[in-house]
Amino acid sequence: MLSGGLIIYHLRIIERLFGPAKYVAFIFVSAVLCTLLNIAVLVSGSALGLNILPAGPYGILFSALYQFYTLIPVMYEFKILGIAFTDKIFMYAFAGQLALSHLPGSLASAACGLLAGAIYRSDFAGTRRWRFPKSVMRLAERFLLPLFSSSPAIRSTATTFESRSQTRTSDRPAQAMREYLDVLSTGGAPQGGTPQPPSEEQVATLQAIFTSATREQAIEALNSANNNLEGAVQFLLDNPSSAPPVPPS
């Protein structure tokens, strides 16, 4: 459960990259493909004793993980005992633990998810270009969005220095936990890791997301986020003057 939660937390970058309409369509297509592939695995694997697949969104997680593998560039590299690793190793370690958690069914579900992600990425039968009809999107926005959207952040009403200090002190454990989760799930640069300047692939990826952003704006955003693509996307979203809004998918 912990590994799955950390994977979901980090894969929110795929939703930001795709946009809401494309991401919802991707989840639906992946779920349908994984269901069909799971049925095929159970039918063909019954002779080998594979009669049960574990419950949970294994297929969707690994389908999204395939998009992460193909779309998100490497941010930095580091070495342990002379062996080179990239920042993506943290995600792959969590995914490996999840795939091996309930053998052999979890491994089969993970393989189905990766295959579904590859099929979606290849645009077989137009899967990557498919979207829900606008009428369905409007109904979902009207009836489902209020159920799942979060409330605006509550601003502090403290008026004195002492009360503001107490509020900040009480928030420190939660802030520390958020930073800890960020390090675990986003692969924060470990001690001794060598940060690299923004690569051409990172700049091109950022400009593909913000099509009107200049090269200088993309480099500025990457530098402000220590070459973290997700942080650079958030920087441009939080600073409309640095780049125009992302066009709808």
184 or 145: which leads in pLDDT: 145
Let me know if 153 is exposed, middle or buried by CB neighbors in 10 A (0-12, 13-18, 19+). exposed
User: Structural domain tally of the chain?
Assistant: 2
Q: Are residues 18 and 90 in the same domain?
A: yes
pLDDT-based confidence at residue 16 (cuts at 50, 70, 90) = confident
Q: Of residues 149 and 200, which shows the higher confidence score?
A: 200
Residue 155, pLDDT score: 52
Contact of 3 with 220, CB cutoff 8 Å? no
Residue 176 lies in a domain: no
**CB count in 10 Å sphere of residue 222:** 25
Q: Final residue of a domain: which of 140, 157, 187?
A: 140
**Hey, is 80 helix, strand or coil?**
strand
- pLDDT band, very low/low/confident/very high, at 35 (cuts 50, 70, 90): very high
pLDDT beyond 70 at 23: yes
Question: Has residue 163 been placed in a domain?
Answer: no
Residue 177 included in any domain: no
Q: What is the pLDDT of residue 40?
A: 93
* Residues whose CB falls within 8 Å of the CB of residue 192, separated by 6 or more in sequence, listed in order: 78
Percent share of the chain, pLDDT over 90: 27
Shared-domain flag, residues 130 and 39: yes
Q: Are 201 and 80 members of one domain?
A: no
The answer for residues whose C-beta is within 8 angstroms of residue 102's C-beta and 6 or more apart is 54
Which residue, of 108, 140, 172, is where some domain finishes?
140
**119 and 54, same domain (yes or no):** yes
Residue-wise pLDDT tens digits, 67-122:
999 988 888 888 988 899 998 998 999 999 999 988 889 999 999 999 999 999 99
* pLDDT tens profile 169-228: 455 555 555 554 554 444 444 444 445 678 888 888 888 888 888 888 888 888 888 888
Question: Is there a single domain that holds both residue 133 and residue 19?
Answer: yes
Residue for token pair 């300047």: 197
Helix (H) / strand (E) element for 77: namely: strand 77-80
Domain edge (last residue) among 92, 110, 140: 140
Q: How far apart are CA 157 and CA 248, in angstroms?
A: 36
Three-state DSSP class for 249?
coil
* Residue 28 included in any domain: yes
Kindly report the CATH number assigned to the domain that includes residue 213. 1.10.8
Average model confidence (pLDDT) for the chain?
79
Q: Grade residue 33 by pLDDT with cuts at 50, 70 and 90.
A: very high
pLDDT grade, residue 29 (50/70/90)? very high
Residue 235 and residue 128 in one domain: no
In a domain, 188, yes or no: no
Query: Is the domain of 105 the same as that of 210?
Result: no
pTM score, two decimals? 0.58
Q: Are residues 73 and 8 in the same domain?
A: yes
CA-to-CA distance for 37 and 237, rounded, in angstroms?
Answer: 38
Domain coverage including residue 39: 2-140
